[in-house]
Structure 1
Amino acid sequence: MTGHGRADAGDLARRLAEQVEAVCRHYLSAGRRYGNYWLVGDVRNTAGRSMYVRLHCPSEGRRAAGRWADAASGEYGDLLDVIRESCGLLDFRDVADEARAFLSLPHPEPRPVSRADHPAIDRSPSGYTEAARRLWVMTRPLPGTLAAAYLRHRDLKRLPDSTALRFHPTCYYRPDDDGPTETWPTLIAAVTDLDGTLTGVHRTWLAADGSGKAPVDVPRRALGDLLGHAVRFGVASDVLAAGEGIETVLSLRQVLPDLPLTACLSAGHLAAMVFPPLLRRLYVVRDDDPAGDHALETLAGRARDAGIDLIALSPRLADFNDDLRHLGPAALRAILHPQLAPQDVARFLETAPP
C-alpha cells in the first residue's frame, strides 16, 4: 500500500461498512441475506453459503459490520478485500478507485510520499508469526495476575495446568481508526500447531482492575499464523472437544477437567482445524449463529471422510460460559451428560471432582 493508501484504507472500509448490505448486493450478488449475515459461497462471489459477512452485530458494535470469514477456506477480511477479490484486482490503488466509484467519492489529490508511509515492518505471514513469538517472550505466568482475576470473574476458577495462557501487564492496543496507541493489561493465549510449536497469539485486552474487557472497540485480536492451529488445553489423543472461543472451551474445563480442549478462535478456523492423528471422536462446542452452523456442517463432512465420530455440544443459553455463570457447574454437568457418548460420561464426567 503506497502513498495515501494506508490512511485511505481505514476511511474507505468504514464508509463501505456503513453501506454493508448494498456492498454485498453489488459485489456478492450470488448470495443472500440471512438475519444479520450475508451468506455466499466465497469472496469471489461463488454461489453457496460457507462465507458470511456481518451486516449488524449489536454485541460488537458498529465496527464489526463488514467483517467476513469463510468457514470452508479460513479466509477473512473486510469489505475492501471483498472488492479486491470479487473484481480480481491486485493493486490497492485500483481497489481504492473501485471503492470510491461505488461510494461516489472524488479521487484525492496525490501527496508526497514520506518515510512514514513505508514503516520498516515485515507484514508477511512469517513476519506476523515472529512478532507473535516476540510478544509471547515478554509475558509472565498467569497465577496472581489481572488475567487470572478476569477469568475468575467469568467463573473460570479451574484454570488449565499448562502454559497456554499468560499475562502481559502493558500490551499495546492500536485502534482501527488510527487513533493514539494505548496500553492495557492483557490475557495472552498461545496458538500452536499439533507439535506444540507457537505459530501465533490471541490477545484479550482487559480493564485496569481485571473485572472485564478493556473499554476499546475491538478487545480481542489474534496475531500470527492461525489457519489449522489453535489454543490447546491438554494433549489430544482419541477424544477432543473443539470450539471457537477460549472462555467457551474453558467453561467445559470446569466440569470436564481431563477432556482435551482446543479453542480455534473463529468459526472459519474451527471449520479448518487440523485433526490430531489418533483422533476418533470429536466434540464440537457449537455457537448458535449462522457462522457456527456452517462451521459444524463443514467439520461434519471432513470428520466423516476421516472416519471420525463427530458430536455437537449445545448450550442451554447463548454459550457454555453463560450456562456456567448463570446456571452453575451442577447444571452445566446436567446439560452435558446426555450429550456425551456413554463411555465418555464414565471417562470424563463421572470421575471429575465436583
Structure 2
Amino acid sequence: MSRHDASNLAQRLGRQAEAVCRHYLSNGHREGRYWFVGDVRNTPGRSMFVRLVGSQSGKGAAGKWTDAATGEHGDLLDIIRESRGLSDFRDVAHEAIAFLGLPHPEPEQTSTRSKLLAAPSETSEKARRLFAVSRPVAGTVVETYLRNRSITALHGTESLRFHPHCYYRPDQHSPTETWPAMIASVTDVCGHLTGAHRTWIDPSGRGKAPVDTPRRAMGDLLGHAVRFGRPGEVMAAGEGIETVLSLRCILPDMAMAAALSAAHLAAILFPVTLRRLYIVHDPDPAGDGARDVLIERANAAGIEAIVLSPAFGDFNEDLCRFGIADLRARARVQLAPQDIARFMPVAA
C-alpha cells in the first residue's frame, strides 16, 4: 500500500474516530471532543487523548492522538497496530479495511464520565474524611516544607491542610507506616471536594519523606484540581502544587489551579466565567503534550490561552535558583499587559 493509500485510509478512519476508539480503545471513554485512555495499547487510564472532531488531515485531524505521559503521538492506524499487536503494515491495513466494513454504533448521548458522577466513589468519600480530620497548615511542618521550597506567600491556601500521622503503605505486602503529610483538597469548578492529594513530608520539613512514592492522589480527579483563589475571567493552571504556589508568590491575586499531573492538566475543566487561561508549562514531553491539548481545548471554547514557561524544570526550581525578583521579571514579559497591572503588585 502506498503512502497516499495509507493517508486515505487514515482519513476514512478519522471520519469514524469515536467508533474506532470504542472498538480498539474500549478501556477509555469520551470527554468532550476527546477520547481518554491510558495508552495506545488500550491500558486503562487517562494520559492519552484522541481527537474525535477535526479536519481531514494535518495536525488537527480527527483521529490524531498524543500520550501526555510519554510524548508518543500518531493516528488511528497506529492505534489499530498497537492495540492488536500487529507488526506488518499489510495486516494493519487489512484490519482497518475490515473494520470500516463493520456497522458502527451511534455515539453515546451520555458520557461515561456523567454516569460516574451520578454516585460518589468510595475513594472520594475517603478523601473527604481525610481532609476533614486534617488541620490548617500555619505553624506546622507543611509550612516549614513550603518555606524550604522558597514559597512564603501562603494566603488563600485553605485547600491545603496538615495531617501529623498520615498512613503510607509501600505496597499491599508491606506494613503500614505513618508520616506527616500535606493534604490538598481536589475540587470541581463549583468548589465541591472530589478527591485529595497527599504529599508525605520528612518530619524536619526539609523535603519529602524518604519513601518510594511520596505523592499519591485519591478520589475523582479527572477535570478537577487543587484550587487557590476564586476563579473569574482569568486563571492559571499547572501540574504541581509547589509550581503553582511559586507563581502565587508573584501573582497573589490571580486564581490558580494545580491539576497534579500532565494528563489531568490537559483535561482540566474550565469555569464558565473564564476568558483567559495561563498554562503553566513544565518543559518535558508530558508537559508539551498537555500544553498542546489544553491550548486547543481553550481555543475551541473561546478562551484565550497564554503559555507561561520556566527557565528550568518548573517555576519552583526557578524560584529556588534565582529568587523572587528574577521570577517576577521572567514572568512579567509573558503576561498579557492588562494582567501585569491587575495581578502583579509593584515590588517593595
TM exceeding 0.5: yes
Query: What pairs with 1:47-66 in structure 2 (closer than 5 Å)?
Result: 48-52=64-68
Deviation at 1:152, TM superposition (A): 0.6
1:317 CA displacement:
1.6
**Partner residue in 2 for 1:166:** 161
Secondary structure in structure 2 of the residue aligned to 1:50? strand
Cα deviation, residue 180, structure 1: 1.4
3-state SS of paired residue (2:292)? helix
Letter in 2 for 1:311: I
CA RMSD of aligned residues (A): 2.7
Task: Name 2:330's counterpart in structure 1.
Answer: 335
Q: Deviations over 1:154-194 (max 9, x none)?
A: 01111132410000000000103622111000000010011
**Does the C-alpha gap of structure 1 residues 280 and 222 become closer, same or farther in structure 2, counting only changes over 3 Å?**
same
Give yes or no for the alignment of 1:44 onto 2:39.
Answer: no
Of 279, 296, 299, the residue aligned with 1:304 is 299
Report the CA distance between 1:242 and its aligned residue: 0.3
CA distance in 2, matches of 1:299, 1:290: 14
Which residue number corresponds to residue 142 of structure 1? 137
In 2, the alpha carbon distance for the partners of 1:277 and 1:204 equals 30
- The alpha-carbon distance between structure 1 residues 53 and 232, as it changes in their structure 2 partners (threshold 3 A), is closer
CA contact (8 A) 1:258 1:352 kept: no
SS of residue matched to 2:162: strand
**Is contact 2:262–2:286 with CA below 8 Å preserved after alignment?**
yes
Q: Tell me, in whole angstroms, the C-alpha distance in 1 between the residues paired with 2:230 and 2:41.
A: 35
Mapped partners of 2:185, 2:281: distance in 1: 22
Q: Distance in 2 between matches of 1:137 and 1:336?
A: 35
**How big is the shift at 1:348?**
1.0
Do the aligned residues in 1 keep the contact of 2:40 with 2:83 (CA within 8 Å)? no
Q: Which residue of 1 aligns with 2:147?
A: 152
Name the amino acid aligned to 2:277: L
- The equivalent of 1:203 in structure 2 is 198
% identity of equivalent residues = 56
CA offset digits 1:268-298 (Å, max 9, x no partner): 1111111110111000000011111111111
CA distance in 2, matches of 1:314, 1:203: 26
Superposed, 1:55-134 pairs within 5 Å as: 86=83, 126-134=121-129
Structure 1 position 48, deviation (Å)? 5.0
- Conservation of the 8 A alpha-carbon contact between 2:202 and 2:210: yes
What displacement does 1:218 show?
Answer: 0.3
Name the count of aligned residue pairs.
Answer: 255
Query: Are 2:203 and 1:220 equivalent residues in the alignment?
Result: no
Letter in 2 for 1:216: V
Structure 2 match to 1:346? 341
Unaligned runs of 5+ in 1: 1-26, 29-39, 55-67, 71-84, 89-123
Q: Match of 1:15?
A: none
Residues 201 and 313 (structure 1), Cα distance of their counterparts in 2 relative to 1, 3 Å cut = same
Distance 1:242 1:69, change over 3 A: farther
Q: 1:244 to 1:139 in 2, by over 3 A?
A: same
Tell me the equivalent position of 1:317: 312
Give the aligned partner of residue 76 of structure 1.
Answer: none
User: In the alignment, is the contact (CA less than 8 A) between 1:231 and 1:264 conserved in 2?
Assistant: yes
What is aligned with 1:181? 176
Distance 2:225 2:203 in 1: 27
Between the aligned partners of 2:329 and 2:217, the Cα distance in structure 1 is 33
Please report the TM-score for the alignment, with normalisation by the length of structure 1.
Answer: 0.67
Matched, 1:229 2:227: no
- Per the alignment, residue 287 of structure 1 pairs with 282
2:241 equivalent among 238, 246, 249: 246
Question: 1:43–1:51: 8 Å Cα contact kept in structure 2?
Answer: no
**Is there any run of 5+ residues in structure 2 with no aligned partner, and where?**
1-23, 26-37, 44-49, 51-62, 74-81, 86-118
- CA contact 2:240–2:258 (8 Å) conserved in 1: yes
- In structure 2, give the amino acid aligned to 1:51: D
Deviation at 1:322, TM superposition (A): 0.9
